[in-house]
């Protein structure tokens, strides 16, 4: 049996959690010791975790015994300090992203391991827990907020904070749109992310015409895809596994007369295979949109926040943590790595070897 440590998040604006208080209670009832770093920033309070039985601490995770498993969601703060722990989080280091070598070297130096949440997959390659639905839902909502904003002004879009719940988000979008019609293309419409985007769009009061594209339409279209610029909004929900042809590029945007907003929910600008080739850096909650490259005459604005579900942190955390919990119990109680965790460990080793670190 292994102890678990829930760390506070380093990333600004990250309110989600991978383990909820009810999950902590279930782990403790199974005999697992759970420590929670105190934080004023989570959607669930310290009091809720304490009432669930967690040991609350002001210490930082790196002070935990090396045998303790550390769990969080987003990237660690930049550092060169070696890491000896087994860590569970979205590291964004397994697909050649910028800065991957520096992060992975910390684990090579300390003997630690990343069990990346993105790579916790069953033998068929399906992720056992994902935020995709809520990423699509929030990404579509932000796209429509951006459309309403930039229809009035070219000034920067206001910063964002979390919404109380999905109805609060829907009401906010409806007020902003004020029943103005919109034409929206959703790429990757049949996946979890795409279904979240479409559910949000269908819940709006405004008349929204949806073009739902998936692999069949993508394969049949010339690249870059000119149909994109026939819409007001383009929402990309395609999970980037391998190199694909660019869907949109600066040259296509020189022909644009309609497209106003790109919501890149998949958000992988530092990947050399990024198919949304009109921007090269993420946006954030403080500055959610940036001007697309090539959109000199007719402005197009890109949303590329890499933790969109944090805008609906309670719903997103509840769903994700519920799916992850049984696998967490198996991992923490087993003598040997269960298959899902073994697959993730193999992905870590491959990433390490790609940089000559093993």
Do 292 and 326 belong together in one domain?
Answer: no
Do 53 and 78 belong together in one domain?
Answer: yes
Confidence check: pLDDT of 146 > 70: yes
Partner residues linked to 127 by β-bridges: 121
pLDDT digits (tens, 9 = 90+) for 157-169: 999 999 999 999 9
Give the per-residue pLDDT at 133.
97
Give the per-residue pLDDT at 239.
83
Average pLDDT over residues 37-58: 97
Residue whose C-alpha is closest to residue 306's, from 13, 7, 10: 13
In a domain, residue 246? The reply is yes
Confidence check: pLDDT of 111 > 90: yes
82, 106 Cβ separation under 8 angstroms: yes
The residue segments making up the domain with residue 34 are 4-119+314-354
Q: Which helix (H) or strand (E) holds 224?
A: none
In a domain, residue 124? The reply is no
Give the per-residue pLDDT at 269.
83
Give the residue numbers annotated as catalytic, written as ranges.
74, 92
Do 302 and 320 belong together in one domain?
Answer: no
Average pLDDT over residues 242-248: 88
Confidence check: pLDDT of 22 > 80: yes
Confidence check: pLDDT of 145 > 90: yes
Average pLDDT over residues 175-189: 98
What total number of domains does the chain contain?
2
CB within 8 Å of 310: residues ≥ 6 apart: 13, 14, 15, 16, 162, 285, 316
pTM of structure: 0.91
Do 203 and 279 belong together in one domain?
Answer: yes
pLDDT tier at 271, thresholds 50, 70, 90 = confident
């Amino acid at each position: 049996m292994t102890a678990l440590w829930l760390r506070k998040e380093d990333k600004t604006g990250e309110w989600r959690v991978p383990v909820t208080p009810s999950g902590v209670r279930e782990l403790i009832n199974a005999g697992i010791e759970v420590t929670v770093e105190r934080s004023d920033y989570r959607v669930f309070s310290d009091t809720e975790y304490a009432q669930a039985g967690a040991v609350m601490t002001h210490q930082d995770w790196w002070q935990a015994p090396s045998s303790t498993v550390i769990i969080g969601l987003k990237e660690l703060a930049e550092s060169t300090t070696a890491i000896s722990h087994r860590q569970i989080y979205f590291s964004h280091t397994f697909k050649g992203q910028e800065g991957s070598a520096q992060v992975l070297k910390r684990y090579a130096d300390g003997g630690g391991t990343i069990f990346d949440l993105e790579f916790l997959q069953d033998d068929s390659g399906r992720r056992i827990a994902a935020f995709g639905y809520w990423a699509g839902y929030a990404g579509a909502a932000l796209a429509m907020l951006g459309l309403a904003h930039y229809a009035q002004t070219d000034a920067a879009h206001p910063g964002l904070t979390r919404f109380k719940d999905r109805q609060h988000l829907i009401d906010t979008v409806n007020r902003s749109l004020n029943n103005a019609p919109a034409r929206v293309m959703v790429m990757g419409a049949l996946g979890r992310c795409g279904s979240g985007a479409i559910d949000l769009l269908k819940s709006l009061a405004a008349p929204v015409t949806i073009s739902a594209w998936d692999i069949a339409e993508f394969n049949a279209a010339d690249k870059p895809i000119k149909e994109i610029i026939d819409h007001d909004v383009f929402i990309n929900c395609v999970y980037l596994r391998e190199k694909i042809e660019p869907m949109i590029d600066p040259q296509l945007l020189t022909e644009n007369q309609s497209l106003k907003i790109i919501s890149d929910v998949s958000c992988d600008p530092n990947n050399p295979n990024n198919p949304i080739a009109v921007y090269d850096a993420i946006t954030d909650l403080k500055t959610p949109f940036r001007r697309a490259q090539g959109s000199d005459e007719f402005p197009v604005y890109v949303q590329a926040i890499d933790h969109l579900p944090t805008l609906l942190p309670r719903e997103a955390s509840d769903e994700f943590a519920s799916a992850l919990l049984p696998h967490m119990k198996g991992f923490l109680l087993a003598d040997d790595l269960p298959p899902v965790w073994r697959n993730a460990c193999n992905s870590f080793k491959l990433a390490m070897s790609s940089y000559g670190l093993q």
